[in-house]
Structure 1
């Protein structure tokens, strides 16, 4: 007879506890290598005797304009610089690099030649302790950006269930109710027939169909025809007025450019990039060399901005900057232009008809109109879109409501003075100054 072992309750609890401890130990030991790596990377900073926290402040105040930790900029990348050069040499180099170069030091001369003789600022005020702190900061391990996992956001009233699912369920319920009513009605008719009950209306055949009654009533026909004509004209006019109106148009550009970051977060003036708006009819698309004025030194965005782009907009800003480098032929590792460029085919957003004349300089420089008046809250737009309708009626309303800028403009001030004497105008609008004449915009 086969022997069967019956485990007691204590044995089963012990096995369960052992399994839990094993799984917990696996998770714990799985995290240890990462902690060990971080400790190993942070170890050199501790060996150098510096304070990386204080070093970060000194680095940002004195070094960040020309150096980055992990890639070349105006000067070399400084990650782990204490392993490349002796500490005493670094003291001399940081305090006065030009003096060290003139002395004929081989390392100093080599660095100067590699970076085309770029002059490094002297920092004689930095103490040995300050330099040690900066060197300690250069051992900060490079942060690895993590891609956030998209999760469903639970709605307040929906309990996390999609509204489409709720509508589908409601439609199914109504369909089932309609089928049930049909079946109940059919069953009741069968019962009535079986019991000899007459449920059909005998006078039904003598009734006039509703469509015939409507056709015989000439007044109703006339009123309905007039209503249909007016409604058709209204909707046809509304549809035709939208032809050529691209309000809300937001095309995808070959290189993503965030006005929200540049004009909003960084508060860059619109006219820095669109400089031709001051003196030209066109605002112009900035040439890529304007972008490189900043991005020659900004090859990556901050970690917070990177995570925001991935999670909220599904955009990798660092890849978009690399597209800019590919277009202008910039080798960011060697900090030089390769000469191999690629054209960028931007997609135009605002496009007035050829028969309409609009001059940016007249509005921006002379009238002092803000860019947001026509283009909307650009500083909040991640993807640029056409904010205003830009129709003729929209322009006319603006001319009727906008006062002419009389301050520091003797020409318009003189016109206002003569008009106020004749017509008693307290202010001078663009419309009163001839802004509604056809020839102002069409010629």
Structure 2
């Protein structure tokens, strides 16, 4: 006689599974007790030992008045200022009174014949430091407190809860992983029980002499064979596929020469998002020839060095890079490496703050490129028409990598000429034409198309 599981055995299996489920879903709170207090004790231990100044206020004053020429731990236009007060006291025997006088009126200190003042003056190419008579002694104390403060500790990454843990009080919660594991275990037990019940019923049927007949399946014609035998469907399908292929072939051929979305990798990564977006640098500061020339021009590296003589590293936003930037590798270290590429190309020795003369050309990759038979003048659109750069180039202030925003096709230009009104105020030439067109045709607005902007010879010469 075949062995059949009875209800007592099934109850035993369920009891074991319930015990295992409760065992794995027990609250785990031992690891969460020590973490919250660590950050508080660390910040509490950073109380300032400088009774004469406030480092927080000093940092703000340093960034406003000193950061253009000085850094804390490296030489720039001026010397490094980390622990400058203690270094002067130990090496030169100079106190705060000397620093007060030097910062407020350095040219007077040099003219008075002060030995150390003239030593600094001669060391840094005989360029006197800018005088700051508006800074009070308290302001200077705050700056000195900032320069002598220890560097901030790097932020420690904390694990992000997976969603099931609660952050209130000292109690513990059940994580989603435990709940999911328990559900998977219960589901597995149910599957095992179904197999056991099925096998038990089959054994009972065999013992009782019950015969279970298998369903008979009819042979059906395969769908591909039925389709091939229907000539009408075959003809319609062939015509449909030919029309679809012609449509996509025509669309592909019409895109030849249209580079919308083209975003090449440049030899030096330049972020329009940081320069034009975060720092609000005007487009025509770098592309100055767009005001007076046919071409917008590629800015020379000397334009970059106007700022990057002092900006030698990227510190980013105070709250840190966004998750999207981290996913793409756009960290502070990445941008700082790109600045070093600029120094190498222009031949800048950042240690000695001078040009070496050893330059390397930067092979920029052109993005916007019109056909040779198409004429376009930047100054006519920028200076005369007053069109913003974003009209054609898109929201460049949001672009991390510059790409071609508009299709730059003939139809796109013609639509712009048809829809753009010419600014006639203050221009006697346009005002006279507008007056004559209004009398003859009743024109309310004067567009570029009405001025001949659709004539072939305007753009194709």
- Tell me which interval the TM-score lies in, with the shorter structure as reference length: 0.7 to 0.9
Q: Distance in 1 between matches of 2:360 and 2:107?
A: 39
Map residues 179-194 of structure 1 onto 2, 5 A cutoff: none
2:149 pairs with 1:140 = yes
Q: Secondary structure at the match of 2:321?
A: helix
Q: Distance in 1 between matches of 2:350 and 2:156?
A: 24
Change in CA separation of 1:119 and 1:252 when aligned onto 2, cut-off 3 Å: same
Q: Distance in 1 between matches of 2:215 and 2:140?
A: 109
Shift in Å, 1:133: 2.3
2:444 pairs with 1:426 = yes
CA contact (8 A) 1:248 1:387 kept: yes
Query: Deviations along 1:203-234, whole A, 9 cap, x unmatched?
Result: x8xxx9653541xx6xx787666545443332
Shift in Å, 1:70: 2.5
Change in CA separation of 1:141 and 1:333 when aligned onto 2, cut-off 3 Å: farther
Change in CA separation of 1:313 and 1:410 when aligned onto 2, cut-off 3 Å: farther
Q: Which residue of 1 aligns with 2:4?
A: none
Shift in Å, 1:414: 2.0
Q: Which residue of 2 aligns with 1:171?
A: none
Q: Which residue of 2 aligns with 1:56?
A: 59
Q: Which residue of 2 aligns with 1:277?
A: 290
Shift in Å, 1:37: 10
Q: Which of the numbers 322, 326, 338 marks the counterpart of 1:311?
A: 326
2:98 pairs with 1:98 = no
Q: Distance in 2 between matches of 1:437 and 1:196?
A: 79
Q: Which residue of 1 aligns with 2:126?
A: 117
RMSD after superposition: 3.6
Q: Which of the numbers 337, 351, 359 marks the counterpart of 1:341?
A: 359
Q: Distance in 1 between matches of 2:76 and 2:160?
A: 38
Q: Secondary structure at the match of 2:139?
A: helix
Q: Distance in 1 between matches of 2:299 and 2:156?
A: 32
Q: Distance in 1 between matches of 2:368 and 2:125?
A: 44
Q: Distance in 1 between matches of 2:298 and 2:415?
A: 28
Q: Secondary structure at the match of 1:304?
A: coil
Q: Distance in 2 between matches of 1:415 and 1:349?
A: 38
Shift in Å, 1:53: 2.6
2:265 pairs with 1:252 = yes
Q: Which residue of 1 aligns with 2:246?
A: 233
Shift in Å, 1:289: 0.6
Q: Distance in 2 between matches of 1:81 and 1:290?
A: 32
TM-score w.r.t. length of structure 2: 0.70
CA contact (8 A) 1:147 1:307 kept: no
Which blocks of at least 5 consecutive residues in structure 2 are unaligned?
Answer: 1-29, 89-93, 164-175, 178-212
Change in CA separation of 1:145 and 1:358 when aligned onto 2, cut-off 3 Å: farther
Q: Distance in 1 between matches of 2:77 and 2:214?
A: 101
Q: Comparing 411-420 with 75-84, which one deviates more in the overlay?
A: 411-420
Query: Deviations along 1:348-382, whole A, 9 cap, x unmatched?
Result: 11111112111111111111111111111111111
2:420 pairs with 1:405 = no
Map residues 32-431 of structure 1 onto 2, 5 A cutoff: 43=49, 45=50, 49-85=52-88, 86-87=94-95, 88-143=97-152, 199=218, 210-214=227-231, 227-304=240-317, 307-308=320-321, 311=326, 313-315=328-330, 316-431=334-449
CA contact (8 A) 1:150 1:311 kept: no
CA contact (8 A) 1:306 1:317 kept: no
